[in-house]
Structure 1
Amino acid sequence: MLENLKKLDREWFLAINGYHSPFWDPFMIAVSDRRFWIPFYALLVAFLIFRFRRQSILMFMIIALSLIAADGISSRIIKPYFARLRPCHDSSLSETINLVAGCGGKFGFLSSHAANSFGIAMLFAFLLPERYRYFKIFVFVWAALISYSRIYLGVHFPGDVLGGAFLGIVLGWIFGLLFRKLLVRYPYFSV
């Protein structure tokens, strides 16, 4: 069964990674680069401070803790434990892979990009009131785009990305619950 899943994962990877064009390559490189999103993050920080005032302090603390947990668990625990090579380090794929930019570390399961971005998306599903539902949808699309870019660039299998997304959603949910409990316990942070 595990071998069938690995085979399916490789087939999906080759199908997704095989769709390349000179137009999309630089776009996917940019989407995958954390620095590309700095203006978006700056606007988000300004919005949270302006809209939520004191509550934004608690939001930033929870977001930071969630990112530390997602990145630490994926990079320092799961990747070394499973030791699954990234597609770009897999010699059996060297003839068929479209490696657009650098490869990154040796191991790929699970994707830290996916864990971090889906963790943030899930947190915003908790942190923001219902009237921001379109923004909540946007951050999930944003997380999916970042995750897709990792497969397109040849640095992760789809299973790496799905595993990272799952970890991020679970951690976002846990830290979202923590945020709600802290708001009740410390009313100073309530809006």
Structure 2
Amino acid sequence: MLEKIIALDQELFLYLNNLGSSTWDPFWLLITDKWTSIPLYAILLYLIYRNFGLKGTLLSIVMVALLIASTDQLANVFKHGFQRPRPCGQDGVMEYARFIAVRCGRYGYFSAHASSSMGLAIFMSLILDKYYKHLTSLLMIWVILVTYSRIYVGVHYPLDVLTGGLIGALLGYLFYKIHCYLMRYFNLTS
């Protein structure tokens, strides 16, 4: 059963990865670059400050830092625990894939990019949705772009990004609940 799932994951990866073309490569390399999202983070920081003030913003920054650290470190634990080679380093896959990423890490299960972007999107959507009606939709589009970029550049299988997204969503929700509790505890709610 597990072998069949892995085979299907590899087939889906090759299909999605080979949809790419050299025309689109610069766009997807830009999307997958972690520094590209800094303007989005700045906008989210402004929205938090606008609605929660300085103290609420500081608490939110701490929560986001802990959330990102959690998703990243949990991904590292899984990568070294499962030791599933990335597609760009997997015999029988890499020969048929388009690898355009700057580098290819050793293990890929699960995607830290997918986990942290989904975690952040869920967290931000939950704390800001009542103020900004379309924020969740915009953040989900961003998550889809980031997670697909990992397949496009050749460093993650679809199951890697799906698992990362699910774990990120769970952690984003957990940190949202902690954030709500702390906002009430420190009397920072509006």
With the shorter chain as reference, the TM-score category is: over 0.9
SS in 1 for 2:31: helix
- Residue 185 of structure 1 deviates from its aligned partner by 1.2
Range moving further from structure 2, 24-33 or 86-95: 86-95
Q: Distance in 1 between matches of 2:89 and 2:3?
A: 19
Percent identity between the two aligned chains? 33
Q: Distance in 1 between matches of 2:134 and 2:42?
A: 19
Partner residue in 1 for 2:160: 160
- Residue 49 of structure 1 deviates from its aligned partner by 1.9
Residue type of the alignment partner of 2:68: L
Partner residue in 1 for 2:16: 16
Partner residue in 1 for 2:73: 72
Gap regions ≥5 residues in structure 1 = none
Gap regions ≥5 residues in structure 2 = none
The yes-or-no answer on 1:58 pairing with 2:59 is: yes
Partner residue in 2 for 1:186: 186
Q: Distance in 1 between matches of 2:35 and 2:124?
A: 21
- Residue 158 of structure 1 deviates from its aligned partner by 0.2
Q: Distance in 2 between matches of 1:52 and 1:24?
A: 39
Pairs aligned (count): 189
The answer to whether the 8 Å contact 1:113/1:146 transfers is yes
Q: Distance in 1 between matches of 2:36 and 2:140?
A: 17
Question: Which aligned pairs between 1:1-191 and structure 2 lie closer than 5 A?
Answer: 1-53=1-53, 54-75=55-76, 77-187=77-187, 189-191=188-190
Q: Distance in 2 between matches of 1:29 and 1:43?
A: 22
TM-score of the aligned structures, taking structure 2 as reference length: 0.94
Q: Distance in 2 between matches of 1:132 and 1:176?
A: 17
Q: Distance in 2 between matches of 1:35 and 1:42?
A: 12
The answer to whether the 8 Å contact 1:111/1:156 transfers is yes
Q: Which structure shows the bigger proportion of residues in helix conformation?
A: 1
The answer to whether the 8 Å contact 1:114/1:168 transfers is yes
Tell me the C-alpha RMSD between the 2 structures.
Answer: 1.3
Deviation by residue 1:65-99 (Cα, 9 ceiling, x = unmatched): 10010001111x11000000000010212320101
Q: Distance in 2 between matches of 1:146 and 1:41?
A: 14
Range moving further from structure 2, 95-104 or 63-72: 95-104
Deviation by residue 1:20-58 (Cα, 9 ceiling, x = unmatched): 122211000000001112222223223322332132121
Deviation by residue 1:73-129 (Cα, 9 ceiling, x = unmatched): 111x11000000000010212320101123331000000000000000110122114
